[in-house]
Amino acid sequence: MTVGILSFRLPLFDNLERNNKKAIHGTCWLLALFCMSFGLYAVFESHNDTGTEGTYYANMYSLHSWIGIGVFSLFLGQFVAGSLLYGFKVGGDGVRKEMMSVHKVRARSERCMDEKREARNNCSSLRSSPSA
C-alpha cells in the first residue's frame, strides 16, 4: 500500500514515464485488493468451519467487523472508479480532473480509518488480556 501511495512521489521512480508510474500504482492496489479479499475469505471460512467440536463462530458480530466491511467496500469503489477513470480513461478530461481531488482525499481517509480500526483492535486485545 505504501508503494501504491508513493508511486508518483518516490525518487526511485523519477525517471519513469507517467504511464509506467500509473501501472505501478494500479498493480500495487490490485495486490492490496487481492490480499484484502483473501483475508476476508479466510475469516469467513474459519468462522463457518465448525471443526471436530462442532463450534460455530458468528460472522459480523462486532463493530470491528462492520467497520472492516465498510473500509473494504470504500476501497473496492475507489479501485473500480480509479481503474475506469484513470486506467481505462472512461469519461471526459473534465470529469477526471474534478474527480482527482476526491480520489486523493478518499484514499487517505480510507487508510486513516483502517489504521484507527487496527489501533482500536490492539487496545481491546490489551484490555482483555489478564497479564496486560
34 belongs to the binding site for ligand HEM (CB under 6 A): no
Q: Between residues 28 and 47, which has the closer beta carbon with respect to ligand HEM?
A: 28
Amino acid 91 reads: G
Contacts of 103 (CB under 8 A, 6+ apart): 78, 81, 82, 85, 86
Q: Between residues 43 and 113, which has the closer beta carbon with respect to ligand HEM?
A: 113
What is the C-alpha to C-alpha distance for residues 106 and 76, in angstroms, rounded to an integer? 12
114 belongs to the binding site for ligand HEM (CB under 6 A): no
Q: Which stretch binds ligand HEM (CB under 6 A): 42-50, 54-62, 73-81, 115-123?
A: 73-81
Q: Between residues 47 and 96, which has the closer beta carbon with respect to ligand HEM?
A: 96
- Residue of closest CB approach to ligand HEM: 82
Rg (CA), the chain: 19
What is the C-alpha to C-alpha distance for residues 7 and 22, in angstroms, rounded to an integer? 8
Whether residue 50 contacts residue 26, with contact meaning beta carbons closer than 8 Å, is answered with: no
- Tell the smallest beta-carbon distance from residue 56 to ligand HEM (Å): 33
- Tell the smallest beta-carbon distance from residue 19 to ligand HEM (Å): 9
